[in-house]
Amino acid sequence: MAARPSAGPPPESIETRLAARVDTFIQLTLNGLTLGSVYALIALGYTLVYGILKLLNFAHGDVVTVGAFIGFGMLQLLGGSTDPVVPVWLLLLLISATAMAGCAALGVAIERFAYRPLRDAPRIAPLISALGVSFFLAYSLQLLFGSEQRDYDAFSMDNGALFFKGFSIGAVHIPLLRILVICAAFALMVVLWFLVNKTRTGKAMKATSFDREAAAMMGIDVDRVIVFAFVLGSALAGAAGVLSALRVPTYPSAGFITGLKGFTAAVIGGIGSIPGAMAGGLILGLAEAYTQGYISTKWSDLAVFVILILIMLFRPQGLFGRPDITKV
């Protein structure tokens, strides 16, 4: 991948070239962190559900897209991005809250009607059901809203403050929007960490994921715990949907690739492990950003998938997971 020597421009000093390199690196790292924090939020949804039900929730990526669409609807309801009826901070807060609430309700419905009847069925059954739900959601969105892109147009909010304000490292300008996305994602992760580690329900979740039957015998309401996991995971998905849609326009079938990425992040970190999902998301985001920046955007998805397959083959438990032991 050696750069071709160019004859045209005047020779630059080593310092300026180095500075440009460093700037590119900082820029790419920032891109990666932004991408990665959203991936981490999505990965958490996969991990929460997998940890408890041992079910790959294929529909999760589409829940993210539904969240983005709910947020878009709320944005229109509040007057659009150019002249909203409320201040921008409240606007963003309301959009995210609606999307999170809507997705949480959707998650509960999916669990109740598509997965719960199949809880004692062979493992292939809920997987196929999940495929069906994913397909149903994606095409329902297309049915209702058409297949064109929906843009939040965050650039118009508050006269572009989200893009122009912010601070700089060297020559790299860090817009407010990126800071907002990263901070919001991390705040949500902290909340999740607190919920899982410091509350009684969190403890019940841990117990259920460790051994569902034993937990039920200890008086834990397993159904409630599972619903709670879906509520948490789907609410995070809603937030992730809004956060990513603020930067990149969304469209009905976006959920498929989003789901794959979030899922890859979960697997890299070790599916079922909460810190693993966070780390996996960031690793994936950074890897994608660097591949796009230094190699080629064309094959970057392919690189990600190949990495995933290699991880699946040589370390299926991921970076933070423990190997599965089959009990007879």
Residue ranges binding other proteins (CB under 8 A): 54-56, 73, 109, 112-114, 117-118, 120-129, 131-140, 142-145, 147, 256, 260, 263, 267, 298-299, 301-302, 305-306, 308-309, 312-313, 316, 326, 328
Least distance in angstroms from the C-beta of 161 to other proteins: 29
HEC string for the chain: CCCCCCCCCCCCCHHHHHHHHHHHHHHHHHHHHHHHHHHHHHHHHHHHHHHHHCCCCCCHHHHHHHHHHHHHHHHHHCCCCCCCCCCHHHHHHHHHHHHHHHHHHHHHHHHHHHHHHHCCCCCHHHHHHHHHHHHHHHHHHHHHHCCCCECCCHHHHHHHHHHHCEEEECCEEEEHHHHHHHHHHHHHHHHHHHHHHHCHHHHHHHHHHHCHHHHHHCCCCHHHHHHHHHHHHHHHHHHHHHHHHHHCCECCCHHHHHHHHHHHHHHHHCCCCHHHHHHHHHHHHHHHHHHHHHHCCCCHHHHHHHHHHHHHHHCCCCCCCCCCCCCC
Q: How many CB atoms lie within 10 A of CB 183?
A: 11
Q: Which is nearer to other proteins, 101 or 127 (CB)?
A: 127
Distance separating alpha carbons of residues 281 and 137, to the nearest angstrom: 24
Q: Which is nearer to other proteins, 175 or 259 (CB)?
A: 259
Least distance in angstroms from the C-beta of 80 to other proteins: 13
Q: Which is nearer to other proteins, 88 or 118 (CB)?
A: 118
Q: Which is nearer to other proteins, 25 or 145 (CB)?
A: 145
Q: Which is nearer to other proteins, 202 or 318 (CB)?
A: 318
How deeply is 216 buried, as exposed, middle or buried, from its count of CB atoms within 10 A (0-12, 13-18, 19+)? middle
Least distance in angstroms from the C-beta of 10 to other proteins: 32
Least distance in angstroms from the C-beta of 57 to other proteins: 11
Q: Which is nearer to other proteins, 175 or 281 (CB)?
A: 281
Q: Which is nearer to other proteins, 164 or 299 (CB)?
A: 299
Least distance in angstroms from the C-beta of 281 to other proteins: 17
Least distance in angstroms from the C-beta of 38 to other proteins: 19
Q: Which is nearer to other proteins, 56 or 225 (CB)?
A: 56
CA distances from 52 to 48, 57, 229, 237 (A): 7, 12, 8, 17
Q: Which is nearer to other proteins, 89 or 299 (CB)?
A: 299
Angle, in degrees to the nearest 10, between helices 14-53 and 254-269? 90
Least distance in angstroms from the C-beta of 259 to other proteins: 10
Structural contact between residues 63 and 105, judged by C-beta atoms closer than 8 angstroms: no
Least distance in angstroms from the C-beta of 276 to other proteins: 16
Least distance in angstroms from the C-beta of 120 to other proteins: 8
